[in-house]
Structure 1
Amino acid sequence: MLELLIRSPLQDDQKRFVTTASQSANNLLDIINEILDFSKIEAGQLTVENIAFNLTTLVEDCTSLLAERAHAKEIELICDVDPKLPVYVMGDPTRLRQVLINLIGNAIKFTETGEVVLRCSLNTKTNMLNFNVMDTGIGIPEKALAQLFTAFTQVDGSTTRKYGGTGLGLTISQRLTALMGGKLAVDSKEGKGSNFHFSLSLTEAETPNTVNIENSSLLTSLSDSYILIVDDNQTNLDVLSGYLTSWGITHDTAKSAKEALSLCKIAVNKNQIYDLALLDFHMPEMDGKQLAHTLKTDKTLAQMPLILLSSSRILDSEATKLGFSAWLDKPIRQSQLQNVMRKTLFPNSISSIKEEEHSLSTTLNGRVLLVDDHDVNLTIAKTTLEKMGVSVTTAINGQEAIDRWQQGGIDLILMDLQMPIMDGFQATQQIRQQENQQTSQRTPIIAMTANAMEEDKKRCLEYDMDGHLPKPFKWSQLEAMLSQWLPKNLTIDEKKDLSTPNVENLKLFIDEKKEPEIERLYIEEPILETESDTLDIERVNETIELFDNDFIELVEAMLESAEDSIIILAKASKDNDLDTLNSEGHRLKGGIGNLGSLAMMETCQLIERKSKAGELQEAKEQIEKLPLQFQQFKVALKDIIKNKLNHTLDI
């Protein structure tokens, strides 16, 4: 509610009061979450998982989440991930993200000028991944280092008074790092800054073939380019130069606009004009805006494309007026830098990347009957299946699914479980009965549900289903499941060893009553430990890539549907209607999960569980959390959409 109040028309003093109240509330929530996490660790209730995740994406997401906080203090936040690192690794992404965000947040808190750098690199001697969070902040006195990781301890009383906090963050980070097999340590000098560092042994996981192809395609097209990088921050310059060197791109660097102009003149005299220039916006003496104007008014350099790198939000129209072909938010993400350079240098070939990605990969074949009563879920799943090369027929309830199946030609059914008119269990039961009566070929039926409890899996077995997918599911999960049942359509040499998404977290169940070759495949639903993570950025990025230009329309439809569900839940709470609380909580969980709202998914899970158990008051308490969580989710989602799509979502 405070978020809404801040955005309403207020006088200056009123806005100041509300902002203070909002900050105090957020600080209190942080303290509560830290104490809860610490309690779980002390009780030995926290465990780590071992799943495949995109390392670069995770590390870059951590800095993106905290970018606004750094920009507000006018300090540089820099992300440096060695491009030679494996794309996918095995480990616990949730705990790694929690540690990195805690360390980066601390670094920003205790830094007033200069920079904060998150660096991820490989120690070639130990084959361990090194993580460093370095700052130019106040540093730590040598005598305080020994007790730094002690619970409820800060450097001194003045630190608590000036910066706030519980003194638990570093203790939690140290314990989590230890759970992952590492050791968190610090090097620091008072007045000079700090370097918090740890190493982890994260084994390489298989990279989806489409990722390899896309990266190879991008880098091959850029390798013949000649690029100029201009930034007054030496660390930024080194990071960008390191990226381009790793990608095989010839380039020069300049620490000032004056040096950049000099290099441009030298290049012109050698008849080697730069193909593109990357310009920092904030520089002393002559900033990126002034440099762009100077370059665009020089006849010999006017045609050189310019890309703006900025810590400030820039509108597309503003960047275009300044003479820039494109702009990127800092901290820079590798994939975005590659794509924007490719788009700027080869504007007519961008569509070919996606075409090539699909034409050179393994696609699935066959017709799938998709059954779901949630229209947005249906849209997302249908689009995903079609991108995989599958023909899709849809139904919105169990009876409609039976009617579609009876028409023939269905190779597999993806069946939602909770639906009106007839649920997925009843529909499956009737289909199996008809198959037995007609002695017809068995159709694989995969359950889709926001429930992934053991009793749900057992019930799926009892109703003779062939597998189970948690909602929301990711591309790799769906692909792994369908690959067990549908024929593949190879569009390149079938003898080539194609990489497939890592499915270490799959559980195989063999039904002893059936033929040995028929396997039951179950994919685990990710466990949500806390409410501290608002947004699953990896899922949002995947959905953006899937829907491209239609993503905004999808988001608007999903948010409208979620808002309707919250209103229905509020009314059901008032009416003490446990059945509606259960069904609508389930519906909201499955829908909002497709956009990555972790906190809301967890709350809906609790609403569903409490209402099923008849615990009305406890369910009502969870419903009261939803409006604030929904608002926080929309704010986080709006920021991601602005960063990735340069689009301001009107929500």
Structure 2
Amino acid sequence: MEPRLPKRSAALAAGALMVLCALFVLGRPGSTADHDHYRTQLRQLRVATAELEQDVLRQRMGMAALHGASDRDFDALAARARMLRTAPDFLPAEGMRSLNASLDAYLRVLEGSRGLLAAARAKDQQLAALREAFPRQVATTAALLPPGATREQVEALGADVLLASGARVEASLSLLTRALEGQPAHAVLEGLAARVREMTALQRAADASFQALLDHGATGEAERLITTYLQLQEQSQARAERTRIVLFGVSLLLVGYVIVVLVRLAQASAALGELNRGLEERVAERTRALSAASAEARASDARKAAILEASPDGIVVLDESARVAEFNPAAAAHFRLPSARAVGADFLSLALPASLPASQREAVHAALLQGSGAARVETPCLRADGAVFPAELTFARVHADGPPRTTVFVRDLTERKAVERMKNEFVSTVSHELRTPLTSIRGSLGLLENGIVGELPSQALDMVRIARTNTERLIRLINDILDLEKMESGMLELKLQPQTAQDLVEATLAGVQGMAEAAHVSLRSDVEGAPQVKGDRDRLIQVLTNLVSNAIKFSPQGASVVVSAGLTADGRVRFSVTDQGSGIPEEKLPRLFGRFQQLDASDTRSKGGTGLGLAISQAIVEQHGGRIDVSSPPGQGATFHFTLEALRVPAPSAGVTLPADDSRHNVLIVTADADLSALLRGLLSHEGYRVVRASTLTEAAQAVEHAPPDALVVDTQMPDGPVLDWVRRLREQPRTRELPVLALAGRSQAGVKDAGTALLVDWLPTPVEETRLLKTLRYAMRQPGQARVLVVDDDATTRRVLCAQFERLGALCIEAADGESAVALARDTPPDLIVLDVGLPRLDGFEVVDILRQGKGRATPLIVFTGRELSRTDQRQLTLGITRHLTKARASEEELLASVRELLNGLLARRDAAAEPRKAMP
């Protein structure tokens, strides 16, 4: 059946024909007056643009402007150009776009000209300022130079810069540069040359900006704008004529086209019915595909459920309120709670024990609230039966359709913690059972090498020296391994204190000076300013010592190693160690900081080393919040550097900190001076003495009569009587005949000195010298005789080695093999120094110190000499008087002996003729 054309379609076609006829009648050219007015405006814009560029050129040549070339003139031109966007209405849309594009191009060129003019003027101003200051700089430079060719060239250069052209200035500058070649660098001449180059560059830049303004001026764009408009106007006229002719023919064709379209629409209706039938078939096919996808989704859900069921880690899904939505079997096993009881419960209340500290609970809560990524935290978790187990919780926020969910992965760390405890026990065993005998071996070999048993044959001495060297190397290797283990387990405690970079560098260079002299390598420090950091002094010196010793080992004879420190631009302190060795190959840099990594076995082995030093240094620097790195250009040596956060140390607070416990040694201070009394009270109380003050001789006599003190410190300037007469009366009484007396005098007086020789233990000038006062007071209250050192260690070999070393210094050694013996000997014969191991039978070192702290042994100097690594808490507990904490495997023999000499504080020189025999307690 043929499709039929509806009457309505025929009416529409006739109406379209009438509309086209009307358009044909109206399609005539636009108004001539509008065209002439718009063309006049374009020509005025061109003339104004040309006048502006002429004024710019006149100003550049130093002539007066006729019309002006300021920013306001540029703005006026831009405003006039924007007004031209309203063109005559006979232009078509495409013509308007072309015309607006030309206007935009004009505005861009005009704005570019303004920018080039501003840049040229700015550079001219900079050049003028430099030219104004240049004669003074030339005069200053010439004044610093001796008369001669160089000075004349400098003066000639100054004249050329101010008077000559650019080519002559460059020629003068080249002459000066060639004259300076081969001569020592002169900063002033280099600065002058740099200033000339800067002025030349500014001149060229200003000329280039002005030349660019002239080459690409807005006048040409104005000409092109007029040309564009005239072309568009001509095209519009021609198009209007053609349109009147074509439009009539098109109107006839349109009627036929409409009829054809309507016929085809009828045909399309039939095709649409066929298409609907095909669409129905496709919908059925799509339904079958969706059914298959649904089955696959169900299978995927089954696989996911199987994974959840088989996962060894607990998986808990939480809703937006942190309540349990899903609880897999592993989680039920970890918490010993059925899934049915867990679902709906608050997870934090379910998992965390009530005894958990608030800080840890807040950390878990913060991890739960983290919006993106995965947050991991270790915390004790609570089982349903009340038991607590260590767990690792990983929180992952899942963003999908619907409310947000959080997945918590729960891992039971019970087995891991047990393994860590076993490792820590092993480290402790190695620390005590291996390092203690090695320390004894090293000490014994050192005594043999130093001739304690007489002069050894040369071959035997070489063997002893080799054995001692290898023992020290083995001790260093064990120390390095234990250090790495502690760093990885987070057990290494840093004693963070304010440190100056200068002190760290000087201490490091002092420690390796002997090694550098043996290798014929010079050391040099370069510390800029006085930067400070907050860190562990010993550990930072360990890092620098390792880097400097490596630099010394791999530097040729006659080379120098530079240790530098200074502030960086970002406010950090940078430490650098630079050598003049052969450098490090680039391909070996990535593995430089690994464990047991040595770059060249044949070379490095001959120079010694375990391959752990850089790994330990990297770990120490990272624990201080820094980063260590190396740069090594081929054949130019290597530079190791690390940075730490700079520290601004606050001013120390005033006042004296009093000890928490009083000593049982009583010191009576007799002085009317409140300031002196406060000074002495703070000083002596800090050393562990109980201090009592008497402001008059009457009060002092009453105090001595009531309870004689252990020592008396008197001020010879008392207002209520002669002090020396009162002291003589004390010497005449049996109770106070042996009372130690220290007299304080403002100046050396003959009477005081004579009286002191007869009656006093010592007299001290004021202001009081603290070191001398403490030394004198300590000597006054000790039992007479040779300096006594109590050596407490459960290892007999270690005791014998230590006693042999101390006896060579002139001390009398008293040995104790356990804590109870040490306490009994310290009470029976108070020692002048205690050398104490921590791991003791019966009473350990902590208990020994606690007992001695309750009595007069509180002020006894102490050296804790142990193979155990002590935390800061341990060190605070192991403190009596002046205390040093040394590790057996780390402290050298020289360090130990130096500490003994320091703490005996002059008593080694006070030997009695008849020394007491050494007492030993098994």
- Structure 2 length as normaliser, TM-score? 0.30
Larger RCO, structure (CA 8 Å, separation 6 or more): 1
**Bigger share in helix:** 2
- Structure 1 length as normaliser, TM-score? 0.41
> Which of the pair has more CA radius of gyration?
2
